[in-house]
Structure 1
Amino acid sequence: MTDYLPIRTDRLTLRRYRETDFDDLLKLQSNDDVTRFLLYDPKTPEEVRETLAKRLADVTMDAEGQALTLAVELTETGQHLGEVTLFVHSVEQRTGEIGYVFHPESGGHGYAAEASVELLRLGFEHFGMHRVIARLDARNTGSVKLLERLGMRREAHFVRNEFLKGEWVDELVYAMLADEWAAKN
Structure 2
Amino acid sequence: MVPVRLTGPRLAVREYHLTEDDVDALHALFGDPEVTRHLPFGPSGREDCADQIELYLEEAMAEERDTYRLAVTRLADAEEPADATPIGQASLTLDGHRAAQLGCVLARASWGRGYAGETVGLLCDFAFGALDLHRLAARVAVDNAASVKVLTGLGFRLEGRLRHDAFKDGVWSDSFLYALLADEWPGACTRGRTTG
User: Would you call these one fold, judging by a TM-score over 0.5?
Assistant: yes
Give the share of equivalent positions with the same residue, in percent: 32
CA distance, structure 2, for counterparts of residue 24 and residue 183 of structure 1: 32
Alignment pair present for 1:80 and 2:73: no
Q: Which runs of 5+ in 1 are unaligned?
A: none
The alignment yields a C-alpha RMSD, in angstroms, of 1.9
Greater length-normalized contact order (CA 8 Å, ≥ 6 residues apart): 2
User: Cα 1:127–1:80, aligned 2, differ >3 Å: closer, same or farther?
Assistant: same
Superimposed CA distance per residue, residues 98-134 of structure 1 (whole angstroms, 9 cap, x where no aligned partner): 1011001101111111011010111111111111100
Cα pair 1:59 1:68 within 8 Å, conserved: no
Equivalence for 1:69: 69
Cα pair 1:61 1:68 within 8 Å, conserved: no
CA distance, structure 1, for counterparts of residue 102 and residue 5 of structure 2: 18
Cα pair 2:16 2:56 within 8 Å, conserved: yes
CA distance, structure 2, for counterparts of residue 140 and residue 100 of structure 1: 13
The number of aligned residues is: 180
CA distance, structure 1, for counterparts of residue 34 and residue 71 of structure 2: 19
Amino acid at match of 2:121: V
Equivalence for 2:193: none
Alignment pair present for 1:151 and 2:155: yes
Cα pair 2:73 2:87 within 8 Å, conserved: yes
Cα pair 1:71 1:80 within 8 Å, conserved: yes
Q: Which runs of 5+ in 2 are unaligned?
A: 78-83, 191-196
Cα pair 1:25 1:48 within 8 Å, conserved: yes
Equivalence for 1:42: 43
Which shows bigger deviation, 74-83 or 158-167? Answer: 158-167
Q: The residue matched to 1:27 in structure 2 has which SS?
A: helix
TM-score, L = length of structure 1: 0.89
Q: The residue matched to 1:108 in structure 2 has which SS?
A: coil
CA distance, structure 2, for counterparts of residue 138 and residue 29 of structure 1: 20
Cα pair 2:24 2:46 within 8 Å, conserved: no
Alignment pair present for 1:6 and 2:5: yes
TM-score, L = length of structure 2: 0.85
Runs of 4+ in 1 over 3 A off after TM superposition: 59-63, 182-185
Cα pair 2:40 2:166 within 8 Å, conserved: no
Cα pair 2:25 2:85 within 8 Å, conserved: no
CA distance, structure 2, for counterparts of residue 6 and residue 183 of structure 1: 18
Deviation at 1:162, TM superposition (A): 2.9
CA distance, structure 1, for counterparts of residue 47 and residue 86 of structure 2: 20
Deviation at 1:60, TM superposition (A): 5.1
